[in-house]
Amino acid sequence: MKRFQKAMLVLLFNMLIIGLAGGSYAGNIQQHRVKTIFDYKQELKLTNKQISKIKETLIKLNKKVTLLKAKLIVAGSNLQALLKKNGDIGLIDKKLRDIFDYRRGIIITDLISSRSIKGMLTKKQIKKWKEIQAENRKKK
Protein backbone atom coordinates (compact mmCIF):
# COMPACT_ATOMS: atom_id res chain seq x y z
CA MET A 1 0.00 0.00 0.00
CA LYS A 2 2.86 2.37 0.79
CA ARG A 3 4.27 2.00 -2.75
CA PHE A 4 0.86 2.83 -4.19
CA GLN A 5 0.62 5.98 -2.06
CA LYS A 6 4.09 7.10 -3.16
CA ALA A 7 3.26 6.45 -6.79
CA MET A 8 0.04 8.44 -6.50
CA LEU A 9 1.84 11.29 -4.74
CA VAL A 10 4.47 11.46 -7.49
CA LEU A 11 1.77 11.35 -10.18
CA LEU A 12 -0.23 14.13 -8.51
CA PHE A 13 2.90 16.18 -8.01
CA ASN A 14 3.86 15.88 -11.69
CA MET A 15 0.36 16.95 -12.70
CA LEU A 16 0.63 19.95 -10.35
CA ILE A 17 4.02 21.05 -11.69
CA ILE A 18 2.97 20.67 -15.32
CA GLY A 19 -0.13 22.72 -14.63
CA LEU A 20 1.79 25.39 -12.73
CA ALA A 21 4.46 25.67 -15.38
CA GLY A 22 1.84 25.97 -18.09
CA GLY A 23 3.11 22.84 -19.81
CA SER A 24 1.28 20.01 -21.43
CA TYR A 25 1.81 16.59 -22.93
CA ALA A 26 0.57 17.87 -26.28
CA GLY A 27 3.74 16.91 -28.12
CA ASN A 28 1.97 15.67 -31.23
CA ILE A 29 -0.72 18.35 -31.32
CA GLN A 30 -0.03 20.89 -34.00
CA GLN A 31 0.30 24.38 -32.56
CA HIS A 32 -0.92 27.41 -34.45
CA ARG A 33 0.57 30.88 -34.42
CA VAL A 34 -1.30 33.21 -32.13
CA LYS A 35 -1.87 36.63 -33.63
CA THR A 36 -0.68 39.56 -31.57
CA ILE A 37 -1.54 43.23 -31.46
CA PHE A 38 1.18 43.80 -34.08
CA ASP A 39 -0.78 41.74 -36.61
CA TYR A 40 -3.54 44.34 -36.34
CA LYS A 41 -1.42 47.49 -36.37
CA GLN A 42 -3.15 48.73 -39.53
CA GLU A 43 -6.67 48.19 -38.18
CA LEU A 44 -5.72 49.74 -34.84
CA LYS A 45 -3.75 52.55 -36.50
CA LEU A 46 -0.82 52.08 -34.15
CA THR A 47 1.85 54.75 -34.39
CA ASN A 48 5.55 53.89 -34.63
CA LYS A 49 6.00 55.29 -31.11
CA GLN A 50 3.24 53.00 -29.76
CA ILE A 51 4.73 49.98 -31.54
CA SER A 52 8.16 50.75 -30.09
CA LYS A 53 6.83 51.17 -26.54
CA ILE A 54 4.71 48.01 -26.77
CA LYS A 55 7.70 46.00 -28.04
CA GLU A 56 9.85 47.32 -25.20
CA THR A 57 7.18 46.33 -22.65
CA LEU A 58 6.85 42.86 -24.16
CA ILE A 59 10.61 42.31 -24.14
CA LYS A 60 10.70 43.17 -20.42
CA LEU A 61 7.72 40.87 -19.82
CA ASN A 62 9.41 38.02 -21.66
CA LYS A 63 12.62 38.40 -19.64
CA LYS A 64 10.78 38.38 -16.31
CA VAL A 65 8.52 35.47 -17.25
CA THR A 66 11.45 33.44 -18.58
CA LEU A 67 13.34 33.93 -15.31
CA LEU A 68 10.29 33.01 -13.21
CA LYS A 69 9.61 29.91 -15.31
CA ALA A 70 13.22 28.80 -14.84
CA LYS A 71 12.90 29.28 -11.08
CA LEU A 72 9.60 27.38 -11.19
CA ILE A 73 11.22 24.43 -12.93
CA VAL A 74 14.12 24.33 -10.46
CA ALA A 75 11.77 24.57 -7.47
CA GLY A 76 9.64 21.77 -8.93
CA SER A 77 12.68 19.58 -9.41
CA ASN A 78 13.83 20.27 -5.85
CA LEU A 79 10.36 19.48 -4.52
CA GLN A 80 10.29 16.23 -6.46
CA ALA A 81 13.64 15.25 -4.93
CA LEU A 82 12.35 16.05 -1.43
CA LEU A 83 9.25 13.95 -2.01
CA LYS A 84 11.27 11.08 -3.41
CA LYS A 85 13.50 10.92 -0.33
CA ASN A 86 10.57 11.44 2.05
CA GLY A 87 11.98 14.85 3.01
CA ASP A 88 11.10 17.20 5.81
CA ILE A 89 7.52 18.52 5.65
CA GLY A 90 8.73 22.04 6.45
CA LEU A 91 11.04 22.01 3.42
CA ILE A 92 8.31 20.55 1.23
CA ASP A 93 5.94 23.28 2.40
CA LYS A 94 8.57 25.95 1.59
CA LYS A 95 9.11 24.56 -1.91
CA LEU A 96 5.37 24.48 -2.55
CA ARG A 97 5.11 28.09 -1.40
CA ASP A 98 7.99 29.02 -3.71
CA ILE A 99 6.26 27.30 -6.62
CA PHE A 100 2.99 29.10 -5.97
CA ASP A 101 4.85 32.40 -5.56
CA TYR A 102 6.65 32.00 -8.91
CA ARG A 103 3.35 31.15 -10.60
CA ARG A 104 1.74 34.20 -8.98
CA GLY A 105 4.69 36.29 -10.18
CA ILE A 106 4.14 35.16 -13.75
CA ILE A 107 0.45 36.05 -13.61
CA ILE A 108 0.92 39.45 -11.96
CA THR A 109 3.77 40.38 -14.32
CA ASP A 110 1.50 39.58 -17.27
CA LEU A 111 -1.33 41.67 -15.79
CA ILE A 112 0.97 44.64 -15.16
CA SER A 113 2.30 44.47 -18.72
CA SER A 114 -1.20 44.16 -20.19
CA ARG A 115 -2.39 47.21 -18.28
CA SER A 116 0.72 49.13 -19.26
CA ILE A 117 0.10 48.38 -22.93
CA LYS A 118 -3.56 49.31 -22.57
CA GLY A 119 -2.38 52.67 -21.18
CA MET A 120 -0.44 53.27 -24.39
CA LEU A 121 -3.56 52.98 -26.54
CA THR A 122 -6.26 55.54 -27.22
CA LYS A 123 -9.86 54.84 -26.21
CA LYS A 124 -10.70 54.20 -29.85
CA GLN A 125 -7.82 51.72 -30.20
CA ILE A 126 -8.85 49.92 -27.00
CA LYS A 127 -12.42 49.59 -28.27
CA LYS A 128 -11.23 48.24 -31.63
CA TRP A 129 -8.76 45.84 -29.94
CA LYS A 130 -11.53 44.45 -27.74
CA GLU A 131 -13.71 43.93 -30.82
CA ILE A 132 -10.88 42.07 -32.58
CA GLN A 133 -10.28 39.89 -29.53
CA ALA A 134 -13.99 39.10 -29.17
CA GLU A 135 -14.20 38.16 -32.85
CA ASN A 136 -11.16 35.88 -32.54
CA ARG A 137 -12.64 34.14 -29.50
CA LYS A 138 -15.77 33.32 -31.48
CA LYS A 139 -13.61 31.58 -34.12
CA LYS A 140 -12.15 29.16 -31.56
Distance separating alpha carbons of residues 119 and 27, to the nearest angstrom: 37
**Structure pTM?**
0.68
Measured between alpha carbons, how far is residue 48 from residues 19, 51, 127, 140 in Å?
A: 37, 5, 20, 31
> How confident is the model at residue 88, as a pLDDT?
94
Whole-angstrom distance, CA of residue 72 vs CA of residue 102: 6
Instruction: DSSP for 49-97, please give it.
Output: HHHHHHHHHHHHHHHHHHHHHHHHHHHHHHHHHHHHTT--HHHHHHHHH
List per-residue pLDDT tens for the chain, 140 residues long.
Answer: 455 445 544 544 454 444 544 444 444 445 556 788 989 999 999 999 999 999 999 999 999 999 999 999 999 999 999 999 999 999 999 999 999 999 999 999 999 999 999 999 999 999 999 998 888 888 76
The predicted pLDDT at position 62 comes to: 92
Q: Check residue 138 and give its pLDDT.
A: 84
